[in-house]
């Protein structure tokens, strides 16, 4: 995979006038694949942070018990397995975990974690996965959550962190 990325970057590097990145971290990671210093032709553009207008609809999330929200595609680098084992361990230790709502579609190599999150009989009452959520529904989920959690292995400053902060919600994020 690394070799494929290096080859692709070598091809485009000759025709690129400027590189745009969503975080300092992603720029530093990209720099590892380029033989020259790209800082003079690179710019970090922060992801949008304006919440969408509040919907006039009365979505079901407004009637739910307090919950923690996690937004992002289900795939290995997003580290949903950590959430699964955290909720599982809370139960094993005799605690009642809070409700966790995960919003995101299933991505590559996600069938195992999606199955664990969706089908574990002990966690069914505590974890739910939502797919194809509209902007107004997402707005409602953000507005009504206690806080958000973003345990990604490899993301830097992802959009869900910016969205969470824009709604005034704390976000527990991996380093």
Closest C-alpha among 75, 63, 159 to residue 110? 75
List the beta bridge partners of residue 127.
100
Each residue's pLDDT expressed in tens, for the chain with a length of 175 residues: 678 877 888 888 778 888 888 778 888 888 888 878 888 888 887 766 555 544 444 445 445 679 999 999 998 888 999 999 999 999 999 999 999 999 999 888 888 999 999 999 999 999 999 999 999 999 999 999 999 999 988 766 678 888 998 899 999 988 7
Contacts 24+ apart (CB under 8 A), 17-24: 17/41, 18/42, 18/43, 19/43, 20/44, 20/45, 21/45, 22/46, 22/47, 22/156, 22/157, 22/159, 23/156, 23/157, 24/156, 24/157
């Amino acid at each position: 995979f690394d070799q494929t990325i290096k080859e692709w970057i070598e091809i485009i590097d000759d025709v690129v006038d400027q590189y745009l990145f969503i975080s300092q971290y992603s720029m530093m990671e990209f720099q590892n694949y380029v033989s020259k210093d790209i800082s003079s032709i690179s710019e970090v553009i922060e992801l949008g942070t304006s919440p969408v207008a509040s919907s006039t609809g009365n979505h079901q999330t407004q009637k739910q018990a307090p919950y923690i929200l996690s937004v992002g595609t289900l795939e290995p680098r997003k580290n949903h397995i950590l959430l699964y084992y955290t909720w599982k361990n809370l139960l094993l230790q005799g605690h009642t975990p809070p409700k966790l709502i995960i919003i995101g579609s299933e991505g590559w190599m996600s069938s195992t974690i999606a199955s664990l999150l969706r089908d574990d009989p002990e966690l069914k009452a505590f974890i739910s996965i939502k797919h194809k959520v509209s902007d107004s529904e997402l707005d409602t989920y953000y507005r009504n959550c206690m806080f958000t959690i973003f345990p990604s292995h490899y993301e830097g400053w992802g959009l869900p962190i910016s969205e969470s902060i824009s709604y005034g919600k704390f976000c527990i994020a991996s380093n």
